Structure 1
Amino acid sequence: MIDKLEMFIALAQHSHFGRAAEACGVTQPTLSAAIRQLEEQLGVMLVWRGSRFQGLTPEGQRVLEWARQICGDARAMREEMRARKSGLSGHVRLGVVPTAVSMVRLLTVPFAERHPGVKFTILSRTSAEILSLLEDHRIDAGLSYLENEPLGRVVTVPLYEERYVLMVPEGHPLALQGHADWADVGGEALAALTPDMQNRRILNQLLLAAGAAPEIAVESNSVLALVAQVRAGGCVTILPEGNAEMFAMEGLACLPLAGGGQPLGLIAPEREPYTPVLAALIDEARRVAAP
């Protein structure tokens, strides 16, 4: 039944029989037959059908919750038995908010030193996408903001506090002045992350509190694009310190902005038992956070 439940989860994720079959590595008739067999075994209809996928029935929504739990537990069991036999190994899928991509090394580097048999896939995603991917079991953990918006049922381990700097061209009046505060941003053309990014919503609140209303000249979901715009001239941007250090280059000046720090950390699903790899990752996050 586990295989059928995994196909059912894939169908719910992709909302399309063909794409779900491709994701599972089976043909579409095989997947369709598996869903029908699952319906027969459970005695309920799980999927509204027409000429194409039309969504899950109320019973299907409930079975989806059970399927995620059952398949997650089965995966945890397989990985624990493998770890007992041959040591910790496997693959961690980690969703990271864009502003934390340069900081994820704080966790992944020491973890890889302890557990060289574990590999990472790091995906840059919004905080909302990370929560959705965790719920759907498409990532194992996330690195995201911990306090600004609701997280739901997750385990959190704070890792560091995000502090901000104003990045301006070297010849900018504020660069010559040598310091800046949030109110100074009000008269500037600002390059900012797109509104779907939690960092943008945080900065909007901080600027509003300072009475600053900058003109948004450029929006992007890429920190690199913001830095390139500032380097080309005509606008400024606000970045976390870690990003500013990574992209520091000739022709740019970074001015610290006091206050407004935001805690970021590891988030993981609130369910046990954890896979051995995820349990080790949570332990590593606690070690990193301890100092």
Structure 2
Amino acid sequence: MLILSKLYNDPDDGSSAGEPMIDKLEFLIALAREKNFGKAAEQCGVTQPTFSAGIKQLEDTLGVMLVQRTSRFLGFTAEGERVLDWARTIVADTRAMRQEVRTLKQGLSGHLKIAAIPTALAMVSALTTPYRAKHPNVKFTILSRTSSDVLSMLENLEVDAGLTYIDNEPLGRMRAVPLYLEQYRLLTSADSPLGERDQVTWAEVARIPLCLLTPDMQNRRIIDSLLHAAGGRPEPTLESNSMIVLFSHVRTGRWASVMPEKLANTLGLTERLRSIPIVEPEAVHQIGLVVPPREPMTPLVSALVAEATLLATQLA
């Protein structure tokens, strides 16, 4: 409560009317995101001297050092980490309050930002299309990111929601809505090795050249683990962080890849291109919508969670 009192009731902190304390909390969050004073200042739309002065005024107001720095950002102090947690909560609550007041006044409107792992991008339209039909004044930004980036962007208030794996690596404090199970297929041409088969094993897949996502992607880590368990040593002939790049190579008939079944079906199969189930083991992983564990949720996020819950029942 002392922190809140200082943030909202300190007339001698040097703040101008154009730079309220909530902006300084935004500065802190931007610094956590960018880890660079210049880049963080640019993201906040201010000069670096103004940004640095804002951080210093926040430190003076709270009476503690928040940032370890020399000529560059070195990290947060222990007190800085705790204040950063408060900053995320206060800024998120402030944004939510403003959004709810605006919604009460003029209906649901605004900008909804969603970060999704590459393998789930094709499913985003199953959420956004019915959402927009009900709320036509909402605009969307969809970003392709790694699973770790999705969680980081949610924590730093860069996006409102994410689509990612919810059963394979820790989600932290995020709230998850399970959507569907990701099942894996070998995509290859009919006249390529294994192309005539009705199903294949992971051990067989491990023996053919593959094009796969880059190692920073959780899907790649999942596939590598399955191939290793089958006695293989994954050495892809092509790597990309884009599923479209992988799919376009497979469609030439000269490449093979492992992709989720729903993604392969969405991208479209041809007479020449086959999607073959991979068994032994028949691996699955859960994809879901993740949102910050805040109550109340913002109206935009609440509507998205409702849409995700409805979609999950349709996909079950």
Q: What TM-score comes out, normalization by structure 1 length?
A: 0.93
CA contact (8 A) 1:154 1:267 kept: yes
Partner of 2:67 in structure 1? 47
Alignment partners' CA distance in 1, 2:227 and 2:35: 40
Structure-2 change in CA distance of 1:41 and 1:254 (3 Å): same
Q: After alignment, is 10-19 or 35-44 more displaced? A: 10-19
Cα drift, residue 14 of structure 1: 1.9
**SS in structure 2 at match of 1:174:** coil
Alignment partners' CA distance in 1, 2:201 and 2:68: 56
Identity %: 53
Alignment partners' CA distance in 2, 1:27 and 1:80: 31
Partner of 1:266 in structure 2? 289
The one-letter code sitting in structure 1 at the alignment partner of 2:269 is A
Cα drift, residue 260 of structure 1: 1.0
The one-letter code sitting in structure 2 at the alignment partner of 1:279 is S
Alignment partners' CA distance in 1, 2:70 and 2:232: 53
The one-letter code sitting in structure 1 at the alignment partner of 2:174 is V
Partner of 2:8 in structure 1? none
CA contact (8 A) 2:116 2:142 kept: yes
The one-letter code sitting in structure 2 at the alignment partner of 1:105 is S
CA contact (8 A) 2:30 2:156 kept: no
Structure-2 change in CA distance of 1:177 and 1:33 (3 Å): closer
**SS in structure 2 at match of 1:162:** strand
**SS in structure 1 at match of 2:200:** coil
Structure-2 change in CA distance of 1:3 and 1:124 (3 Å): same
Partner of 1:257 in structure 2? 278
Alignment partners' CA distance in 1, 2:311 and 2:198: 33
- 2:304 equivalent to 1:281: yes
Partner of 2:208 in structure 1? 188
The total of aligned residue pairs comes to: 291
**SS in structure 1 at match of 2:57:** helix
CA deviation string 1:41-96 (max 9, x = no partner):
11112223422333322222211111111101111111110011000111111110
Cα drift, residue 215 of structure 1: 4.2
Q: After alignment, is 210-219 or 118-127 more displaced? A: 210-219
- 2:248 equivalent to 1:228: yes
CA deviation string 1:113-166 (max 9, x = no partner):
111111111111111111111111111110001111111111111111111211
Root-mean-square deviation (Å): 1.8
Structure-2 change in CA distance of 1:282 and 1:177 (3 Å): closer
Unaligned ranges ≥5, structure 2: 1-20
